[in-house]
């Protein structure tokens, strides 16, 4: 028999399946709201002007193509830490944050999972919200962690199930690792309020839980990189240790360049040094060292005051367009006479709207209206434009009323 005779065909990735179905559809006004990548108001991918300028600078500087160190391009990781933790960050000033460049956010999560699996002194279990980014479970279980869940979403209110979240995290054994989306929770677009974050921080203290922050959308949620980093900085102010995964896919539009960082907030510079050495030992057999180009581009943007400022304006531009499309979608639904309450569309934040549509309704949306998105009712607001919002609202209205 063939060596691979026992390899069974696995299910295709849910998002890729949607893209396939979308491509096959010959209807000219078809709409793809599946993939989480920003589109401009013409529905086209967007390369940020600050990125173009930074790329030109990188090319002009004539750098060689030698390997980076195991933890990547230092000017990039230093600036990434500053962006996340802020200029007033105590652990940053005290030089006790270990950071490594990573293969975007996914790679940061995977290094984090592997690091916790190897060194976390408590149970090797991570709690993720229900629902969460579709890849979290696979990333962490492939890292050797057991994955459990805590309540997050209330389908009746299409809002946060804060009581459920608190109850589940209280019931979890003390010292559990808990994954938190720093901002723009994917897929729901529902974040805790600042007051709720304070309560979550208190609960973590009470229970001795260990936070793993996934920050894939810094700046992209509100248009303000400091505002979006609030929970991470709050937890640090409150004295928590934590680990953090950062991605520059969304906020710099560097999706395919795979630019990210993983960091560990430790208790002392001496501890940082030990942690850093073990991160290197962990990364070396995984991929030796990360690619340099994207990190150099991000580094140019973050370290050049003028480019940095320009970039912040462009991030805000993307966030604002999305916020505008939320309002337009809601307005169109109301004008069509929909009796449902669509406030959640504008209350939610970030790339996605969690519509509350059922899997059956999503099916009809695709088959009868050529509107493609995931079965859980999540639509990528970044795929909505002033040109397609009316037809989208009509389709949703016909399906749901």
Binding site for ligand PMP (CB under 6 A): 36, 104-106, 133, 181, 186, 214, 216, 247, 249, 255, 260
Complex with ligand PMP: residue 105 or 192, whichever CB lies closer: 105
Q: Tell me 272's DSSP state.
A: H
C-alpha count within 13 angstroms, C-beta hemisphere, residue 266: 17
| Shortest separation between residue 93's beta carbon and ligand PMP, angstroms | 28
Active-site annotation holds for 316: no
CB 115 within 8 A of CB 243: yes
Complex with ligand PMP: residue 77 or 332, whichever CB lies closer: 77
Complex with ligand PMP: residue 216 or 384, whichever CB lies closer: 216
CB 246 within 8 A of CB 263: yes
| Shortest separation between residue 136's beta carbon and ligand PMP, angstroms | 7
Complex with ligand PMP: residue 217 or 342, whichever CB lies closer: 217
Active-site annotation holds for 250: yes
| Shortest separation between residue 337's beta carbon and ligand PMP, angstroms | 34
Q: What is the DSSP string of 114-153?
A: HHHHHH-SS-SEEEEEES--TTHHHHHHHTT-EEEEEE-E
End-to-end alpha-carbon separation of the chain, Å?
Answer: 56
Widest Cα–Cα separation across the chain: 64
Token pair in block for residue 338: 């929909």
| Residue whose CB is nearest to ligand PMP in the complex, by number | 105
**Distance between CA atoms of 214 and 245, rounded to whole angstroms?**
5
| Shortest separation between residue 63's beta carbon and ligand PMP, angstroms | 24
Give the ranges where 288-304 is alpha helix by DSSP (H).
Answer: 293-303
| Shortest separation between residue 105's beta carbon and ligand PMP, angstroms | 3
Complex with ligand PMP: residue 106 or 263, whichever CB lies closer: 106
Complex with ligand PMP: residue 315 or 333, whichever CB lies closer: 315
**Distance between CA atoms of 149 and 236, rounded to whole angstroms?**
24
Active-site annotation holds for 311: no
Rg (CA), the chain: 21
| Shortest separation between residue 42's beta carbon and ligand PMP, angstroms | 23
CA dist 285 to 25, 141, 164, Å?
43, 19, 40
- Catalytic residue, from 250, 272, 276, 330: name it: 250
Token pair in block for residue 194: 């600042």
CB 242 within 8 A of CB 236: yes
**Distance between CA atoms of 354 and 181, rounded to whole angstroms?**
16
| Shortest separation between residue 103's beta carbon and ligand PMP, angstroms | 7
Count of other CB atoms within 10 angstroms of residue 232 = 26
Complex with ligand PMP: residue 91 or 350, whichever CB lies closer: 350
- Catalytic residue, from 161, 191, 214, 376: name it: 214
What are the beta bridge partners of residue 180?
213
Count of other CB atoms within 10 angstroms of residue 103 = 20
What are the beta bridge partners of residue 3?
none
Residues with active-site annotation: 133, 214, 250
């Amino acid at each position: 028999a063939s060596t691979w005779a026992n390899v069974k065909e696995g299910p295709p990735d849910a998002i890729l399946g949607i893209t396939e179905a979308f491509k096959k559809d010959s209807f000219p006004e078809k709409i793809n709201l599946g993939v989480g990548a920003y589109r401009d108001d013409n529905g086209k991918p967007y390369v940020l002007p600050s990125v173009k300028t930074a790329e030109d600078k990188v090319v002009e500087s004539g750098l060689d193509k030698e390997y980076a160190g195991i933890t990547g391009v230092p000017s990039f990781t230093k600036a990434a830490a500053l962006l996340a933790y802020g200029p007033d960050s105590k652990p940053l000033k005290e030089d006790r944050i270990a950071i490594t460049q990573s293969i975007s956010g996914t790679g940061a999560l995977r290094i984090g999972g592997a690091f916790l699996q190897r060194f976390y002194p408590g149970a090797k279990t991570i709690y993720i919200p229900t629902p969460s980014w579709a890849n979290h479970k696979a990333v962490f279980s492939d890292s050797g962690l057991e994955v459990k869940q805590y309540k997050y979403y209330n389908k009746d209110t299409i809002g946060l199930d804060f009581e459920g979240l608190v109850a589940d995290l209280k019931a979890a054994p003390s010292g559990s690792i808990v994954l938190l989306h720093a901002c723009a929770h994917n897929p729901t677009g529902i974040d805790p309020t600042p007051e709720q974050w304070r309560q979550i921080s208190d609960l973590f203290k009470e229970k001795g839980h260990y936070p793993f922050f996934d920050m894939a959308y810094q700046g992209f949620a509100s248009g303000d990189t400091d505002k979006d980093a609030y929970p991470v900085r709050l937890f640090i102010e409150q004295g928590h240790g934590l680990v953090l995964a950062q991605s520059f896919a969304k906020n710099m539009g560097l999706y395919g360049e795979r630019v990210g960082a993983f960091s560990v907030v430790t208790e002392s510079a001496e501890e940082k040094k030990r942690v850093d050495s073990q991160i290197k030992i962990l990364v070396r057999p995984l991929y030796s060292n990360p690619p340099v180009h994207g990190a150099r581009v991000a580094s140019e943007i973050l370290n050049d005051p003028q480019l940095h400022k320009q970039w912040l304006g462009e991030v805000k531009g993307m966030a604002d367009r999305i916020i505008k499309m939320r309002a337009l979608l809601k307005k169109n639904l109301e004008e069509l006479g929909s009796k449902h309450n669509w406030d959640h569309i504008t209350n939610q934040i970030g790339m996605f709207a969690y519509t509350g549509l059922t899997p059956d309704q999503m099916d009809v949306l695709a088959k009868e209206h050529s509107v493609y998105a995931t079965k859980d009712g999540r639509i990528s607001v970044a795929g909505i434009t002033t040109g397609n919002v009316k037809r989208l609202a009509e389709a949703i209205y016909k399906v749901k009323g």
